[in-house]
Chains A and B, each alone.
Chain A
């Protein structure tokens, strides 16, 4: 390898406004024209993006103490329950949390019009948020009840902490049954009436660094319209999933836990969503810069939709019943064409992740880097990768009533 750049070299260029940056979509044509070696010699950073529903998202809040003080025990933000099982006025509001009064799927399929994701969007949007909470009262925290309201700017901390984002690949969902089903992959019409996928493909962060050679703990990123960091590997992180020759996994694989200050984020990139018959969630905008340290990293960024494959999975029975197997693999170029062929049947496709959004995020991150305001960080530690021997577990199911064998 002839190119051997350090993050510090790249940051020097960023600070002097001379860094050469392309998005993961733009770089494909550049590499096509100039080849890997020449492009690697010229390009410093490739930016990626993804903007999809990410249920494992939420925000830690410290709402400050009232007078007299309270230890929040049960707390609701705009009627949506927040987790209060941490310190007195700390809360965690998760994206899928629902008001106790939501009819959920009692009126199937439920609408789930307002949940945690919507509260997060409203918070970032600067709207007034009602806080209703109760407690049991202690000598140090005597208050038993509070009903007030606040704005994001008035509370101490609001830290977005998403335990699992940016999934490296995802299932393509179909319905083999004879009735419409309502899933977190959207509405699936009977007899394979449609196939829904959820990835930005060639623009997606973890497809451009498939073996996690540059992304690590402490990598600075675009998160929700502001800056954030990679905190850890995400939950259900499964780098051991089978991979193609280009390093991209053929199944859902690596994930990231992300963190950032909500106060500098934008509602455009943190959108409350409601999936009919499934629930509420949050659409999160994530963009990760890939430093082009050498030709190997450059080659990973050359990946295109036609070289990335995802499994087609039946959400009527196969997925919910956790049956092994799938209906074959399909690449993202075919998925994006709008129509795929499954066993001779033409099936229209739709996406849940916004490709237009992903492209805008990658372009925004690119402009931040070009303007010198966003520099790259050296990870404090790497993330477990293919050699970590990680095996995805399922839930142990044993009968607690029966004593130990």
Chain B
């Protein structure tokens, strides 16, 4: 069994295809959609948690890439630069899932990647610019 959060990016020509239906039907995977959006250029972005048999999962990923989609693990999307973080905590009330939170009573801020849903609110809310993304998501903001 695997359980993985991924981000799919769809070029405009396949945004309207029933990709998720295929994942379920042909690859026998369980899909839990976390977030979906289409930007003004008609590119799609889908964040979801996929679980199922390892072999099926790998086949599905290969198939997705063949369709022209890009697939990334969700954890790679948002980066917390601990060297730039001042542990002020301003992000902790902005992050909707408490992926960024205070470790009490030490008052040290930590980033729990697995709780992050890549909403990107922290990118602009952090005054010290300690939150970064390697992927250009600006068209989705």
User: How far, in Å, is A114 (CB) from chain B's closest CB?
Assistant: 10
What per-residue 1/0 map shows which CB atoms of B72-96 lie under 8 Å from chain A? 0000000000000011111111100
B129: chain A residues at CB < 8 Å are: 113, 274
* A351 CB contacts on chain B under 8 angstroms: 88-90, 107
A-B pairs under 8 A by CB, number:
75
Q: Does B104 interact with chain A (Cβ within 8 Å)?
A: yes
8 Å CB contact of A276 from B93, B109, B125, B128:
B125
Partner of B93, one of A51, A336, A349: A349
Q: Count chain B residues whose beta carbon lies closer than 8 angstroms to a beta carbon of A.
A: 21
Given A338-B102, A338-B104, A350-B93, answer yes or no on A187-B88 (Cβ-Cβ < 8 Å).
no
Interface residues on chain A, number (Cβ under 8 Å): 33
A181-B107 Cα distance, complex, nearest whole Å: 25
By the criterion CB–CB under 8 Å, are A194 and B93 in contact? yes
Query: Is A355 within 8 A of B107, CB to CB?
Result: yes
Given the interface contacts A111-B124, A336-B107, does A357 sit within 8 Å of B93 by beta carbon? no
Chain A residues near B (Cβ < 8 Å): 51-53, 109, 111, 113, 186-187, 189, 193-194, 196, 271, 273-276, 281, 283, 336-338, 348-357, 359
Could you name 23 residue pairs across A and B whose Cβ atoms are closer than 8 Å?
Answer: A52-B88, A53-B127, A113-B129, A186-B125, A187-B94, A189-B93, A196-B90, A196-B93, A271-B128, A273-B128, A276-B124, A276-B125, A336-B105, A338-B92, A350-B90, A350-B92, A351-B88, A352-B88, A354-B89, A355-B89, A355-B107, A356-B87, A356-B106
Q: Apart from A189-B93, A350-B93, A354-B87, list 11 A-B contacts with CB within 8 A.
A: A113-B129, A186-B90, A186-B125, A193-B93, A274-B127, A276-B124, A283-B128, A350-B89, A351-B89, A354-B88, A355-B87
Closest 6 pairs between A and B when the two form their complex, measured CB to CB = A194-B93, A355-B107, A356-B87, A273-B127, A350-B93, A351-B89
